[in-house]
Structure 1
Amino acid sequence: MRIAVIGAGALGGTFATLLEKAGHTVTVTARGKALDVIRSEGIQLTGGFGDVTARPTAVELLTETPELTLVCTKAQDAAAAITANAAVIDGSPVIVVQNGLDGVTTARRILPHSDCFGALSIIAANYAAPGLVTVTTPAPTYLGHGSGDIDAGTLAWQGVLDAAFPTIAIGNFVGAQWTKLVVNMLNALPAVTGLSVQQVVDDDGLRRILTASMRETVRVGAARGVRFGALQRLGDRRLRGFAGLPLSIGQLLPRLMRARMGDVPNLGSTLQSLRRGQLTEVDHLNGVVVREAAAAGVAAPVNTLLTALVHEVEATGRPLTPAEVLVRFAPLRLR
């Protein structure tokens, strides 16, 4: 099958490599040095899915209509990337692999003739350099379509992807996006401090802030009438229970997530963006919690401050120490 992957970062590079290994003809879009490296050396994938080198066709913009397109850009780059390739891909199936809540909606708006699906990946992968990706935690990718039950299209594409990397078809994809948003609260504090996710969870003070941000996200989702989807042993009942526990007990959830990661440092996608000198997608993670809280008429002080701190580090280039972070959060009543 002819498959295009828009965006050759950590996840795009992982998927492109594994899809080519599974026998598909893969084209990736990239820019600048990444485009040159992939053209000359291919993509080298190491870590959790084994050591594989792929030689996909690398282009700046697609010129031929693929049978399937995966959009794997950062959330803030999705609209521009999809628009740039719309003339070629509109009318063919598209799977948006993205954090946040808006990816599939954005694709449907720009590609009115395409059947657009969403995918949520729990894979932890580090973009070490252009064309070099290390998977620190292999995990399934969850594929879905809207708010209803699993449909035939989802099952068909699940079969294609699952032959290359573990893929699970799910219903209530919109609810699962909210569950992934809770999981993605792991990203902000590593970006603010420069620490790995594991180091953040191991720090008592930072773990309390992390837990509070996750619980706040659940409460905002509940205020918006969300039924959280099943993802990585999390679902509506468990998340609502987590949000109602005392904060001291709620910290068990990030501890369990940390245990599943192992000890290979997980930098988180937001910190990786900062280290590459790129803008982060924090406005589509913690920032979208703030947006949805405003729509529900409730407050989201923890995520408001986390969003501001990530933007501060973007602007200054200087991470904060854990002690400095705790001082910033001291006026808030974490719960």
Structure 2
Amino acid sequence: MRYLIIGAGAVGGAIGGRLAQSGHEVVLVARGKQYEALRDQGLQLRTPDGPHTHRLPVVDGPEALGILRADDVLILAVKTQDSAAALAAWGARPVAGGGTAALRLPLVCAQNGVESERLALRTFQRVYAMCVWLPATFVEPGVVRADGTPLTGILHLGRYPEGSDDTARAIAEDLERSHLEAPVAADVMRWKYAKLLSNLANSVEAVSGVIDSEEGTALFERARAEGEAVLAAAGIAYTPQDEERKVRADKIRFEPFDGAPRGGGSSWQSLQRGTGTIEADYLNGEIALLGRLHGVPTPVNDVLQEYANEAARKGRSAGETSVAELTAAVDARR
């Protein structure tokens, strides 16, 4: 199989680099300065087992590949706010032997949140969900830092909305030869909803610049409590935290290497890169949406979503608003 990594940022770059390192055929898809850096200098993947430079084919869109191959696997690793455009661009591409990507090729949503799979299933017939536990940072064009050891990440994978098949198992086998663990889970969305609850911290970290503080943790716990109440009201199952901890165990540890500090999460990275957008609508906003549908107030997540969007829109760097300010805004909303 050939892997087309649509969105070669932190997650996409780490997965693509590890797959290439273990001998799999990979094409990176990127835009702007990232595309230029990958084209000119290759992918610089920095990991605890050493820096790796991968000179891989890189394109800035599907047109550059022409007709797709029947053994192509599309790994969608853009932020959810960019999913619709990517799905439209790639779904209509012709595949050797007839048909289009949307009709014939597997599409794996390797993203935070739970919305991209629904978007994809409107046009793609073979959609797979992936729950991504992969600590990686992308703030410099061409450079991806993946801090986890001995595993780079744990990627639960399954057919969407549920189930598994030979394609999922084949992809998992390739990933598991690539410093990754990839359990095939028929109930993969249960894992993704658990990850959604964890990702409610992203806006706290992005806007305030901190999460590992007493007040930052307290605010996140309030956001998570809302999320759990909303999922209960909606009848949506998610993996309990003790089961998550048991599966991860000590398979992903953070050990200092190369003298550089770890970066923040995906939303923090968006502000640091000045992308102008952030994924809060599909993290805190998912909880707000479900809350409105099921009559559960979500003032904490409402405020976090609003502040994160404003920070991205106004080009603010991470950390320009304190946790105390965020907490005061939440308390004023209640």
Provide the TM-score with structure 2 as the length reference. Answer: 0.84
Q: Tell me which amino acid in the other structure corresponds to 2:286.
A: V
**Helix, strand or coil for the counterpart of 1:178?**
helix
Does 2:297 match 1:307? no
- Superposed CA offset, 1:269-289 (max 9, x none): 001101111100100000111
Q: Tell me which amino acid in the other structure corresponds to 2:201.
A: L
Q: Compare 28-37 and 153-162 and name the one that shifted more.
A: 153-162
What is the CA distance between 1:323 and its match in structure 2? Answer: 2.9
Q: Counterparts of 1:57-206 in structure 2 under 5 Å?
A: 57-62=57-62, 63=65, 64-66=67-69, 67-88=72-93, 89-90=101-102, 91-112=104-125, 115-137=126-148, 138-164=152-178, 165-195=180-210, 200-201=211-212, 203-206=213-216
Name which of 268, 272, 296 aligns with 2:269.
Answer: 272
Contact 2:158–2:186 (CA<8 Å) still a contact in 1? Answer: yes
- Superposed CA offset, 1:183-211 (max 9, x none): 1112111111123xxxx22x222211111
- Superposed CA offset, 1:229-265 (max 9, x none): 3678339xx9xxxxxxxxxxxxxxxxx99x9667753
CA distance in structure 1 between the partners assigned to 2:106 and 2:200 by the alignment: 30
Q: Tell me which amino acid in the other structure corresponds to 1:65.
A: L
**Helix, strand or coil for the counterpart of 1:303?**
helix
Contact 1:16–1:56 (CA<8 Å) still a contact in 2? Answer: no
Does 2:326 match 1:325? yes
Contact 1:120–1:177 (CA<8 Å) still a contact in 2? Answer: yes
In the superposition, relative to structure 1, how do residues 171 and 275 fare at CA in structure 2: closer, same or farther (>3 Å)? same
- Superposed CA offset, 1:284-304 (max 9, x none): 000111001111121111101
CA distance in structure 2 between the partners assigned to 1:317 and 1:177 by the alignment: 29
Q: Tell me which amino acid in the other structure corresponds to 1:142.
A: H
Contact 1:124–1:266 (CA<8 Å) still a contact in 2? Answer: no
CA distance in structure 1 between the partners assigned to 2:24 and 2:242 by the alignment: 28
Equivalence for 1:209: 219
CA distance in structure 2 between the partners assigned to 1:262 and 1:330 by the alignment: 38
Provide the identity percentage. Answer: 28
What is the CA distance between 1:131 and its match in structure 2? Answer: 1.1
In the superposition, relative to structure 1, how do residues 215 and 50 fare at CA in structure 2: closer, same or farther (>3 Å)? farther
Q: Compare 72-81 and 146-155 and name the one that shifted more.
A: 146-155
Question: Unpaired runs of 5+ in structure 1?
Answer: 239-255
CA distance in structure 2 between the partners assigned to 1:116 and 1:149 by the alignment: 11
Contact 1:185–1:214 (CA<8 Å) still a contact in 2? Answer: yes
CA distance in structure 2 between the partners assigned to 1:49 and 1:170 by the alignment: 29
CA distance in structure 1 between the partners assigned to 2:30 and 2:86 by the alignment: 10
Equivalence for 1:11: 11
Q: Tell me which amino acid in the other structure corresponds to 1:121.
A: V
Provide the TM-score with structure 1 as the length reference. Answer: 0.84
CA distance in structure 1 between the partners assigned to 2:8 and 2:28 by the alignment: 6
**Helix, strand or coil for the counterpart of 1:51?**
strand
Alignment RMSD: 2.5
Equivalence for 1:246: none
CA distance in structure 1 between the partners assigned to 2:51 and 2:115 by the alignment: 33
What is the CA distance between 1:97 and its match in structure 2? Answer: 0.5
Q: Counterparts of 1:22-61 in structure 2 under 5 Å?
A: 22-48=22-48, 50-61=50-61
Q: Counterparts of 1:277-288 in structure 2 under 5 Å?
A: 277-278=274-275, 279-288=277-286
Question: Unpaired runs of 5+ in structure 2?
Answer: 94-100
CA distance in structure 2 between the partners assigned to 1:119 and 1:149 by the alignment: 12
CA distance in structure 1 between the partners assigned to 2:116 and 2:49 by the alignment: 26
- Superposed CA offset, 1:97-143 (max 9, x none): 0111111121121224xx11111111111103111001123331111
